[in-house]
């Protein structure tokens, strides 16, 4: 019907999204649903050390596709071969550019590609050559974002299906969807697998919420270290550092709400970490960026307030704050002095060597970024001095139990004063288990669920026994009634025989009398 109306079938579609969101899986699903041949290659498969191998493989791929039309070609990680051309110093770029040129010819050159749909996947669409992404080659750009809370719940439903669970699948999926903001589909699959591994190592008969939450911590920050290498004083510094993050994020309007904070060291290099509920959409204004910087600086400021010295534990925080400050000045055009300009980071060594602005402007950018960081630092210092008692409450609880959840934070600091729609949705979903089982403690929930399952099993057994007893009673009644019926029949037969004999005797007597 498209051809009848004069429309042309799109030649290709570019699947764009972060790693692990299911771009390759979607391409395979399209091939399966369309019931046609599917040719799959990775972008790196075209690149070899020998000159001419890449273009030759492109020609061979499309030749096979033409012989099997209609069909689908999928090129995964196309940025390996489709990167922007020009400006390179290494000879390897010539081979890559030749491969890209051949791909462009095959998709929109003199050779007809009727009946061939080309799909490609990448997480770096910004570095692809414009000639590759123009209409006529890749006509569609399909964005596959990270799943939101409802989509994560559905993905957990898929990956928990083969597992033997301690709680109903719907309850575990809803709970884990709440605790996994920003997770991709691949990370969710990894969490489910890790939870099953943890349960198997503990010789458990099923996988419970505790195993799922431990698996999530492993995916986020690595394995928990078996023995803590820190002294009591160092533990105290870490606890107050993480408490500073927690309190600043709790009372800043545009900061991400806190989900969990822990001071347990991990093999990923973290001395402790805080998990937040990030925004589903990455659109920020100046106030939101400043509050994110303040939340990140909260740990360092807390150390200054309570110990009057700084430690090296905040190096990653400073790196993130510096990046946010320079992004406001250089990329987002949020500095009055620098103006409404944008200098995005360059890709490739050659491009990085070219500075698009003068040394004078570079000094201005440095000064503006420094001012932004200092203002954020002062704002954080003012807030945490006012909330000094709250920091002490959180830090003391951390020193006592090492890990505190969102519910613990609410108990210590009260309800969060600023609540977005996303945060309200999180609260509703997180209260599902508590409303059903009357507690938010994981071990208590599993204990109650096990008791309910045992009661259900015993009631089912009792029901089965009563059914069997009823069947036995019915059978015995049938047998009794059949016996009684048989006896009645026998008595009736005997009565009939007696009547026959009596009649025969009477007939004989009458016969004699007549004679």
Nearest to 409 by CA among 422, 424, 399, 394: 394
Can you list the alpha helix ranges (DSSP code H) found in 255-358? 286-307, 315-326, 349-353
Identify whether the C-beta of residue 241 lies closer than 8 Å to the C-beta of residue 233: no
- Cα separation, 96 vs 315, in Å, equals 38
Can you list the alpha helix ranges (DSSP code H) found in 85-148? 92-108, 130-133
Q: Dump the DSSP string for 25-43.
A: HHHHHHHHHHTS-EEEEEG
How many of the other CB atoms lie within 10 Å of CB of 89? 10
Contacts 24+ apart (CB under 8 A), 424-432: 425/149, 426/149, 426/178, 426/257, 426/277, 429/149, 429/174, 429/175, 429/177, 429/178, 430/175, 430/178, 430/406, 432/171, 432/174, 432/175
- Cα separation, 252 vs 294, in Å, equals 8
Identify whether the C-beta of residue 139 lies closer than 8 Å to the C-beta of residue 13: yes
In the numeric block, the tokens 């749909």 are attached to: 117
- Sign of the torsion formed by the C-alpha atoms of 131, 136, 137 and 143: positive
Tokens of 491: 């008595």
Q: Dump the DSSP string for 451-485.
A: HHHHHHHHHHHHHHHHHHHHHHHHHHHHHHHHHHH
Mark whether 242 is an active-site residue: yes
- Cα separation, 94 vs 99, in Å, equals 9
Identify whether the C-beta of residue 360 lies closer than 8 Å to the C-beta of residue 275: no
- Cα separation, 414 vs 250, in Å, equals 10
For residue 439, the surrounding DSSP H or E stretch is none
Identify whether the C-beta of residue 409 lies closer than 8 Å to the C-beta of residue 258: yes
Who contacts 408 (Cβ-Cβ below 8 Å, separation ≥6)? Answer: 397
Who contacts 362 (Cβ-Cβ below 8 Å, separation ≥6)? Answer: 355
User: Which one is catalytic: 95, 106, 153, 242?
Assistant: 242
Return the percent helix, strand and coil in the chain, to nearest 5.
Answer: 60, 10, 30
Q: How far lies 462's CA from each of 469, 470, 476, in Å?
A: 10, 12, 21
Q: How are beta strands 403-405 and 258-262 bridged, if at all?
A: antiparallel
Can you list the alpha helix ranges (DSSP code H) found in 208-354? 209-221, 232-251, 286-307, 315-326, 349-353
Catalytic site positions: 242
């Amino acid at each position: 019907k498209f051809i009848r109306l004069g429309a042309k079938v799109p030649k290709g579609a570019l699947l764009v999204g972060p790693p692990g969101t299911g771009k390759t899986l979607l391409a395979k699903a399209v091939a399966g649903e369309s019931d046609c041949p599917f040719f799959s290659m990775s972008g790196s498969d075209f690149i070899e050390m020998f000159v001419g191998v890449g273009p030759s493989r492109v020609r061979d791929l499309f030749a096979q596709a033409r012989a099997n039309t209609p069909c689908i070609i999928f090129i995964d990680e196309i940025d390996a071969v489709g990167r922007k051309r020009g400006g390179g110093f290494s000879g390897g770029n010539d081979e890559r550019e030749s491969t890209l040129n051949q791909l462009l010819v095959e998709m929109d050159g003199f050779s007809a590609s009727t009946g061939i749909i080309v799909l490609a996947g990448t997480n770096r669409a910004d570095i692809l050559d414009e000639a590759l992404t123009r209409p006529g080659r890749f006509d569609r750009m399909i964005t596959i974002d990270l799943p939101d809370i409802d989509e994560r719940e559905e993905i957990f439903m898929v990956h928990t299906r083969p597992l033997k669970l301690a709680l109903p699948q719907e309850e575990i999926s809803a709970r884990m969807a709440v605790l996994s903001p920003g997770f991709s589909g691949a990370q969710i699959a990894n969490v489910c697998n890790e939870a099953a591994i943890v349960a198997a190592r503990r010789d458990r008969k099923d996988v419970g919420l505790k195993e799922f939450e431990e698996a999530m911590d492993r995916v986020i920050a690595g394995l928990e270290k078996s023995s803590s290498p820190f002294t009591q004083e160092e533990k105290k510094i870490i606890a107050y550092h993480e408490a500073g993050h927690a309190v600043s994020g709790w009372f800043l309007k545009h900061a991400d709400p806190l989900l969990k904070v822990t001071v347990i060291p991990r093999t990923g290099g973290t001395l402790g970490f805080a998990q937040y509920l990030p925004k589903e959409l990455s659109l920020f204004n100046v106030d939101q960026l400043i509050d994110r910087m303040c939340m990140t600086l909260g740990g360092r400021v807390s150390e200054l307030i309570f110990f009057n010295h700084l430690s090296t534990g905040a190096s990653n925080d400073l790196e993130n704050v510096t990046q946010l400050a320079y992004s406001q000045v250089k990329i987002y055009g949020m500095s009055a002095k620098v103006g409404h300009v944008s200098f995005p980071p360059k890709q490739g060594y050659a491009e990085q060597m070219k500075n698009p602005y003068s040394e004078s402007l570079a000094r201005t950018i440095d000064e503006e970024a420094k001012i932004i960081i200092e203002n954020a630092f002062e704002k954080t210092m003012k807030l945490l001095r006012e909330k000094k008692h709250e920091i002490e409450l959180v830090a003391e609880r951390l020193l006592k139990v090492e890990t505190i959840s969102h519910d613990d934070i609410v108990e210590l600091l009260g309800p969060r004063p600023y609540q977005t729609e996303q945060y309200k949705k999180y609260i509703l979903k997180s209260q599902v288990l508590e409303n059903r089982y009357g507690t938010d403690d994981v071990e208590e929930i599993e204990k109650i669920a096990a008791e309910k399952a045992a009661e259900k099993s015993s009631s089912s057994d009792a029901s089965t026994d009563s059914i069997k007893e009823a069947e036995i009673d019915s059978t015995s009644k049938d047998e009794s009634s059949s016996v009684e019926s048989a006896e009645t029949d026998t008595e009736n037969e005997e009565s009939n025989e007696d009547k026959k004999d009596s009649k025969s005797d009477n007939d004989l007597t009458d016969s004699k009398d007549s004679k």
